[in-house]
Amino acid sequence: MPAEITETLASLCISWPAAEWQRCEAAHRARVAEQAEGFVRRRASGEKHPVWDFLFTYYSFSPGKLMTWCPAMEESQHSVQRDADPSFETTTWEWPALSERIRREAAWIAQLCGNIVGRPPRFACHGLHEWAMVYKQSAEQVRHGGYELRMSPDELATFVESQNICCTHYDAFRFYTPEARPMNTFNPRFETRLDMEQGGCLHANMDLYKWAYKLWPWIGSDLVADAFEVALFGRAMDMRASPYDLEALGFPPIRIEAEEGRAEYRSCQQELAAKAEPVRRKLQTAAAWLAACK
């Protein structure tokens, strides 16, 4: 892929064949535009979606940035061809300066990815975090109040109390109700993420998207789209296993309150982990490269 790079202390600028750029841009938009544009339409009309909005509200990457394609800085450096035919029409892209803060964040992300890859995944939580988030709540307190729960509050509480709740993810655990927090086997904290996160965790796998977009545009848009697709799969699975009845929206429940449902959840969890692992390894490599940039 021919490209010409101009480097300064403040930024890195690349000239890319326009036809190739447009091809890559169209392929990228085909992967992400349905969700990104759908969220923009809902936001403009005041609509909410209990499953997909999360990808743009909890995660803070804007739809516009998600739909923007650019190459990875490392890839572009490897593909430089300074004597490219000047008659070719080109597209120019400039990466912003790579600050020391971004390099430190990249080093932390590389370490997190490496730690998760290096420890065995756990497939025993059965998605109970969503149930712990509504445990002992009134109907007015429930987050998605416009949707019925699949059990009465008393039935839900009895079920939660009968289970082994073993969430290892800080950002899921911190949304537990106060009554549910002491029931969790672990006490994940922000400071223990490097030690506790593991590759079977739905939220650790969805969070690949967050760690990827924190390093955008330097890692390029293809890796961000890879991570977004993992998050998309994980979010649907998460809400199907939740206590909310979302079948009318096209999300048939994974009934973790029954043994066959727990078996289905474990199967989905293993499928998600398999999708996430190669993305995590790519992100680890990309983040380590950024951390080492001078």
Q: What is the pLDDT of residue 79?
A: 52
Predicted confidence (pLDDT) at residue 10 exceeds the cutoff of 60: no
Average pLDDT over residues 269-292: 98
Structural domains in the chain (count):
1
What is the domain extent for residue 230? 4-292
Quick one: pLDDT band at residue 138, thresholds 50, 70, 90? Answer: confident
Instruction: List, as own/partner pairs, every contact residues 17-21 make where C-beta atoms lie below 8 angstroms and the sequence separation is at least 24, other chains included.
Output: 17/84, 17/88, 17/89, 17/90, 17/91, 18/88, 18/89, 18/90, 18/91, 19/89, 21/69, 21/91
**Sorting pLDDT into bands at 50, 70 and 90, what band is 78?**
low
Q: What is the pLDDT of residue 93?
A: 86
Distance (Å, rounded) from C-alpha 226 to C-alpha 32?
A: 10
> Lowest-confidence range among 78-87, 118-127, 193-202?
78-87
